[in-house]
Homo-oligomer: A and B are copies of this chain.
Amino acid sequence: MSCLEEKTINTEKIFSGNVISLQVDDVELPDGKHAKRELIKHPGAVAILAITDENKIVMVEQYRKAIERELVEIPAGKLEKNEEPKNCAKRELEEETGYVCESLEWLISFYTSPGFADEILHLYVAKGLKQKENAALPDEDEFVNLIELTLDEALQYIKNQRIYDAKTVLAIQYLQLQKAL
């Protein structure tokens, strides 16, 4: 198998923000020619497939500025500096939904957009949910509505495009597979 590696010749840092940074790399291709790569650096994130004792999926509805619309998604959030993904999942679940959980198991990790971004997303399954009094609050610039859906309702939301993002579709497929296999 041929080596496909692209060697970095130069990195131009364009922007460094609170969430993402952007750089343009000059790379040497396998044939020796050069090309430009526009790259986003992201701290990584977690998402939580949280299932209530009544077998409902806990979702949050929030406005996504990047696409200028509301989406219904499984709870998710980005890693803080040096934060363990599992601790982040516990924190985000509590902040976004008010739930704490008895069990929290890692399911799968995946890159969301490897063509231009290094964001990796770690997906967890949470069970044994209890609403916590005085739960940690979302970040002050985060506004979310809590929604709990059966699997059938979630499939309907996908059809209606109220659920419309990769991680949430992937998590719902996982539940369908659990039921079918």
Contact = CB atoms under 8 A, between A and B. Distances in A.
Interface string A12-48: 0011011110101101011101011111101001000
A179 to B, nearest CB: 9
A181 B180 CA distance: 6
A145 interface: yes
Q: How many copies does the complex hold?
A: 2
A116 interface: yes
Q: Which of A20, A22, A37, A65 has the most CB of B within 10 A?
A: A65
B119 A113 contact: yes
B71 A111 contact: yes
B1 A145 contact: yes
A159 to B, nearest CB: 10
Contacts of A170: 166, 169-170, 173
A97 to B, nearest CB: 16
